């Protein structure tokens, strides 16, 4: 059972009065006591006993009764099979596991065993948050990982670590990695699994439970015995068909143990069906940019602060045209690389497509028709695929002259980048024959389910065509028979109808019924049913025809299903090449989308190397810039930022001051986002950018408490700051905003001062440090690699104008009261705040609150604070003007009046 959801109780023991069906239900339920049991009965999945009570509340459906058990009514509820996915989605979202129990025997065969025999049923699948494959249950543009977590044995003088193995069974992607225990929250935030498996020895660890819960995943305890490294190594070799795993990476024993727990759980939940596995990817420590969970949230990489995709960096840059391409983009954005060669190779691919607009548009146009091949193959392998999934293989990519493949192929000798050439080679290796076979076999329009039939083309199979002709010709035969009977009896209103109970029958009104029950027709028409307004009859001819039609329909469907199974077998026989082609299409879409983004948003290629430089010119915040454009406001004002030099000297820390609302936080965040984009292989929003590779990215921005863990806002701030100071290296990039503001002024200033010195002397990281403690600007003179910057503002009378331009220097004021005025604080409060501020600024040291209270009675009618006076007569007169309603003469007269008033005020 996924942790956190109500657990269904164990079923009752079978009572003496239990029917065979209830006895079967209780037997199956007892083997799946921790899951809700979807028990197939005809066109419904039924639930009984406690499952019915739990499910009816969770789904908001009616709770009814069916029969008795042990002398008491049996609670029951059910959902239609055709709508089961919707109900499954709601149950899974609430943390339930669902055992799907299907009929595994034809009812006709059950009857042969006796009139009271129950159709055999068995659980064919356990549905859990991490094992979804249905299109309707998944987000097409996001992965759905199932992750197994295993704590590695402790080593002397080494920080505790753990191994993670993750699989998306809807695509076959398999990943293994080892991380420090302190980095686990960030790793879970990066993978974002739907479900996390832990050994039952770890399930009671409150900290592990908390981390999994914060990652938004369901926790599922599994037997510790499943996490066995020898078992994992053997299972992986068998699934991959290899004798050694060396070609896939050097897996640690802890990683193999995590893989064992993962693959065992998949085998259990899929009831023996093996999902597709793409070659496992071993993520080597240090190969990815480490971003902790708090930083991911602060920078809104995949989700905005409101929890939605809209407003995030991912939403701002996503120009993909396929679901697989969107997943690839999201994966690379979540996992930026630290491999300089790999990053530059990816940038080469983007640059090539950015420089070839006609090719790029041809690629994107062709890809719009590309199906989600990875998920189609995964469903086929698990026996959940349908004709449309075969159609996805048939339509792997359009083969037209304007197809991207033809366009790219012509450029093979023209310096095609390594990444794009690899895609071309994978697609060239994909089997053409299977596509041709599927194109010959399948109709253009395909049903969702194979049992619906009608998906095989006419002419593909002669036997199928014969049975279809008989089945489909029955309408004409029945119409002819109806006309014959009507002529013979003289009853013009006679109809031949059909239902599932009587089959085919002749129906006449009660008025004409005597005609069929008297000679000469009584021998032909056999009475079957009398109704209020009609009487129904059967005939030997109808019975014979029905048998032939039913047999033809059943035989036609059986033939189609047999052809379907053979086609699936052919496809899965070519699965590896097809999976590689699907991955290539996803990568191509992702590269073309980043090139489109660069062209559309005027992004530039960053220079990526091994230096400690961060130098950008006119950099912009991607989300804010697009929001401003949508709001038709002023354009975004880009800013420069320079940290470090090739020689190792220069500024490493920039202390940024300036008023609230002036853009300090935007400046800090945009530079951190440039690091993520660049190392993810994307162009960046700037005029130019030179970024030395970053190993860890930290962002401490904003204020939030954690009351559930007993942490105040200041405590959360200090915990995050401690994490930065303990982990940042000279290759890290650190963004800090308002450290120390959550406590008393002098305490906060002291902490910020000490943290800044520590970052300079010990961590030696590239740092952007925003603060309202103007005293910290003095550190620029003291610390060799620190400098000051401020966000410019202009004052005009009692207003401030934000220029959103970051320039060298330090601010001498915070303009807090001016910002408070913009927020709408009452005028008396603003005036009083101005008076208190004046006294504080005049005081030598820290004045006592009692002195302020004695000297300045609350809200007395004193002279307003400087710069916060009521509007002048000139301002009032100016505000009263309505230029749109004035004639040129009136406007000129008004201008002279204003000039006269200005001169008199002067």
What DSSP line would sit under 628-669, residue for residue?
A: HHHTT-PPP--EEEEE--TTS-S--EEEEE--TTSSHHHHHH
Report pLDDT digits (tens) over 659-712.
777 778 899 999 999 999 999 999 999 999 999 999 999 998 765 545 555 566
Considering the domain architecture, whether residues 609 and 591 belong to the same structural domain is answered as no
In a domain, 249, yes or no: yes
Report pLDDT digits (tens) over 723-777.
899 999 999 999 998 887 777 677 878 888 888 999 999 999 999 998 887 788 8
660 is in an annotated binding site: yes
Higher pLDDT, 564 or 799: 564
Report pLDDT digits (tens) over 253-305.
999 999 999 999 999 999 878 899 888 999 998 899 999 998 999 999 999 98
Residue 399 has pLDDT above 50, yes or no: no
Considering the domain architecture, whether residues 755 and 611 belong to the same structural domain is answered as yes
Say what the pLDDT of residue 856 is.
47
Residue 647 has pLDDT above 50, yes or no: no
Report pLDDT digits (tens) over 598-620.
999 999 999 999 999 999 999 99
Residue 310 has pLDDT above 70, yes or no: yes
Report pLDDT digits (tens) over 587-601.
999 999 999 999 999
Say what the pLDDT of residue 658 is.
80
Closest CA to 561 of 377, 387, 440: 387
Residue 406 has pLDDT above 70, yes or no: no
In a domain, 453, yes or no: no
Banded pLDDT at 246 (limits 50, 70, 90): confident
Say what the pLDDT of residue 763 is.
92
Name the range with the highest mean pLDDT among 151-160, 499-508, 687-696. Answer: 687-696
Higher pLDDT, 553 or 49: 49
500 is in an annotated binding site: no
Considering the domain architecture, whether residues 642 and 617 belong to the same structural domain is answered as yes
In a domain, 223, yes or no: yes
In a domain, 241, yes or no: yes
Considering the domain architecture, whether residues 175 and 280 belong to the same structural domain is answered as yes
Q: How many folded domains does the chain comprise?
A: 7
Name the range with the highest mean pLDDT among 24-28, 307-311, 407-411, 660-664. Answer: 24-28
Considering the domain architecture, whether residues 651 and 762 belong to the same structural domain is answered as yes
Considering the domain architecture, whether residues 198 and 69 belong to the same structural domain is answered as no
Helix or strand or coil: residue 499? Answer: strand
Distances (CA, A) of 639 to 134, 663, 784: 46, 11, 23
- Residue 632, Cα to own-chain centre: how many angstroms? 30
Considering the domain architecture, whether residues 792 and 829 belong to the same structural domain is answered as no
Considering the domain architecture, whether residues 155 and 122 belong to the same structural domain is answered as no
Q: Which among 562, 591, 621 is the end of a domain?
A: 562
Considering the domain architecture, whether residues 553 and 416 belong to the same structural domain is answered as no
In a domain, 437, yes or no: no
659 is in an annotated binding site: yes
Cα 133 to Cα 135: distance, rounded to the nearest angstrom? 6
Considering the domain architecture, whether residues 752 and 785 belong to the same structural domain is answered as yes
Higher pLDDT, 339 or 278: 339
Residue 400 has pLDDT above 60, yes or no: no
Tokens (6 digits) for 232:
């994992």
Helix or strand or coil: residue 449? Answer: coil
Distances (CA, A) of 666 to 86, 184, 756: 41, 28, 20
Phi, psi of 776 (to 5 degrees): -70, -20
Say what the pLDDT of residue 875 is.
73
Tell me the average pLDDT of the chain: 85
715 is in an annotated binding site: no
661 is in an annotated binding site: yes
Cis peptide before 174 (omega within 30 of 0): no
Banded pLDDT at 401 (limits 50, 70, 90): very low
Cα 732 to Cα 728: distance, rounded to the nearest angstrom? 6
Considering the domain architecture, whether residues 551 and 619 belong to the same structural domain is answered as no
Banded pLDDT at 359 (limits 50, 70, 90): very high
Cα 530 to Cα 101: distance, rounded to the nearest angstrom? 40
Banded pLDDT at 869 (limits 50, 70, 90): low
In a domain, 117, yes or no: yes
Considering the domain architecture, whether residues 594 and 615 belong to the same structural domain is answered as no
Say what the pLDDT of residue 861 is.
44
CATH number of the domain that residue 203 is part of: 3.30.420.110
Residue 637 has pLDDT above 80, yes or no: yes
In a domain, 14, yes or no: no
User: Cβ atoms within 10 A of the Cβ of 214, count?
Assistant: 15
**Overall average pLDDT of the 209-226 stretch:** 91
In a domain, 310, yes or no: no
CATH number of the domain that residue 70 is part of: 3.40.1170.10
Say what the pLDDT of residue 852 is.
47
Q: Which among 72, 97, 127 is the end of a domain?
A: 127
3-state helix, strand, coil in the chain (%, to 5): 45, 20, 35
Residue 850 has pLDDT above 60, yes or no: no
Banded pLDDT at 398 (limits 50, 70, 90): very low
Banded pLDDT at 420 (limits 50, 70, 90): very high
Burial zone of 182 (CB within 10 Å; 0-12 exposed, 13-18 middle, 19+ buried): middle
Say what the pLDDT of residue 905 is.
64
Say what the pLDDT of residue 829 is.
72
Residue 816 has pLDDT above 70, yes or no: no
Residue with token string 């120390």: 740
| pTM beyond 0.85, yes or no | no
718 is in an annotated binding site: no
The whole domain housing 64 covers: 20-127
């Amino acid at each position: 059972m996924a942790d956190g959801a109500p657990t269904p109780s164990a079923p009752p023991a079978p009572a003496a009065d239990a029917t065979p069906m209830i006895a079967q239900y209780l037997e199956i339920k007892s083997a799946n006591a921790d899951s809700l049991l979807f028990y197939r009965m005809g066109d419904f999945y039924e639930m009984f006993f406690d499952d019915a009570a739990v499910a009816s509340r969770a789904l908001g459906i009616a709770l009814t009764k069916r029969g008795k058990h042990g002398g008491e009514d049996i609670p029951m509820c059910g959902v239609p099979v055709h709508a089961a996915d919707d109900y499954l989605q709601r149950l899974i979202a609430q943390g339930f596991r669902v055992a799907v129990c299907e009929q595994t025997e034809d009812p006709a065969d059950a009857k042969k065993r006796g009139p009271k025999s129950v159709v055999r049923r068995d659980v064919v699948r356990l549905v859990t948050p991490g094992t979804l494959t249905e299109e309707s249950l998944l987000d097409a543009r996001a992965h759905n990982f199932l992750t197994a977590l295993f704590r590695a044995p402790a080593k002397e003088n080494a920080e505790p670590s753990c191994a993670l193995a993750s699989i998306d069974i809807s695509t076959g992607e398999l990943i293994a990695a080892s991380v420090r225990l302190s980095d686990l929250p960030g790793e879970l935030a990066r993978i974002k699994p739907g479900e996390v498996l832990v050994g039952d020895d770890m399930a009671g660890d409150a900290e592990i439970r908390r981390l999994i819960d914060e990652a938004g995943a369901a926790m599922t305890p599994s037997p510790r015995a499943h996490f066995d490294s020898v078992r994992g190594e053997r299972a992986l070799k068998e699934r991959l068909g290899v004798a050694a795993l060396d070609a896939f990476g050097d897996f640690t024993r802890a990683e193999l143990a995590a893989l064992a727990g993962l693959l065992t759980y998949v085998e259990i939940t899929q009831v023996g069906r093996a999902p597709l596995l793409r070659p496992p990817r071993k993520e080597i420590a240090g190969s990815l940019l480490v971003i902790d969970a708090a930083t991911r949230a602060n920078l809104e990489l995949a989700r905005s602060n409101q929890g939605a995709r809209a407003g995030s960096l991912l939403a701002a840059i996503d120009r993909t045209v396929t679901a697989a391409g969107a997943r690839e983009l999201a994966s690379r954005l979540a996992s930026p690389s630290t491999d300089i060669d790999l990053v530059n190779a990816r940038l080469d691919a983007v640059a090539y497509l950015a420089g070839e607009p006609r090719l790029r548009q041809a690629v994107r146009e062709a890809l719009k028709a590309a199906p989600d091949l990875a998920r189609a193959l995964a469903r086929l392998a698990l026996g959940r695929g349908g004709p449309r999934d075969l159609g996805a293989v048939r339509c792997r990519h359009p083969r037209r002259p304007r197809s991207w493949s033809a366009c790219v192929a012509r450029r093979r000798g023209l310096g095609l980048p390594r990444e794009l050439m690899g895609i071309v080679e994978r697609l060239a290796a994909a089997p053409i024959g299977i596509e041709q076979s599927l194109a010959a076999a399948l109709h253009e329009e395909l049903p969702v389910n194979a049992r619906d039939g009608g998906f095989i083309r006419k002419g593909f199979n002669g036997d199928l065509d014969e049975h279809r002709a008989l089945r489909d010709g029955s309408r004409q035969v029945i119409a002819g028979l109806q006309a014959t009977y009507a002529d013979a009896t003289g009853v013009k209103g006679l109809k031949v109808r059909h239902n599932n109970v009587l089959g085919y029958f002749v129906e006449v009104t009660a008025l004409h019924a005597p005609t069929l029950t008297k000679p000469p027709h009584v021998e032909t028409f056999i009475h079957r049913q009398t109704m209020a307004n009609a009487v129904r009859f059967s005939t030997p001819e109808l019975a014979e025809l029905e048998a032939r039609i039913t047999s033809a329909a059943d035989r036609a469907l059986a033939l189609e299903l047999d052809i379907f199974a053979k086609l699936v077998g052919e496809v899965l026989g070519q699965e590896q090449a097809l999976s590689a082609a699907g991955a290539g299409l996803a990568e191509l879409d992702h590269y073309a989308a980043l090139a489109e983004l660069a062209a559309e948003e005027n992004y530039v290629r960053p220079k990526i190397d091994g230096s400690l430089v961060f130098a950008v010119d006119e950099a912009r915040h991607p989300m804010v810039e697009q929001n401003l454009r949508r709001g038709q406001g002023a354009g975004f004002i880009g800013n420069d930022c320079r940290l470090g030099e090739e020689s190792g000297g220069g500024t490493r820390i920039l202390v940024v001051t300036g008023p609230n609302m002036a853009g300090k936080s935007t400046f800090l965040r945009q530079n951190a986002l440039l690091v993520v984009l660049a190392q993810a292989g994307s162009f960046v929003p700037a005029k130019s950018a030179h970024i030395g590779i970053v190993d860890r990215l930290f962002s401490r921005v904003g204020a939030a408490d954690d009351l559930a863990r007993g942490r105040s806002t200041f405590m959360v701030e200090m915990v995050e700051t401690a994490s930065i100071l303990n982990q940042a290296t000279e290759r890290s990039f650190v963004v800090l905003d308002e450290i120390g503001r959550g406590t008393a002024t002098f305490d906060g200033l002291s902490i910020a001062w000490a943290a800044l010195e520590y970052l300079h002397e010990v961590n030696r990281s590239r740092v952007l440090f925003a603060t309202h403690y103007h005293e910290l600007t003095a550190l620029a003179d003291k610390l060799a690699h620190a400098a000051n910057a401020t966000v410019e503002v202009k004052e005009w009378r009692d207003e401030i104008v934000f220029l959103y331009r970051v320039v060298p220097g330090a601010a001498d004021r915070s303009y807090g009261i001016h910002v408070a005025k913009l927020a709408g604080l009452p005028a008396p409060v603003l005036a009083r705040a101005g008076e208190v501020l004046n006294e504080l600024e005049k005081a030598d040291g820290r004045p006592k609150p009692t002195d302020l209270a004695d000297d300045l009675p609350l809200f007395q009618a004193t002279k307003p604070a400087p710069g916060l006076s009521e509007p002048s007569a000139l301002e009032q007169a100016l505000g009263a003007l309505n230029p749109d309603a004035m004639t040129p003469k009136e406007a000129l007269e008004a201008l002279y009046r204003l000039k006269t008033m200005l001169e008199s005020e002067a």
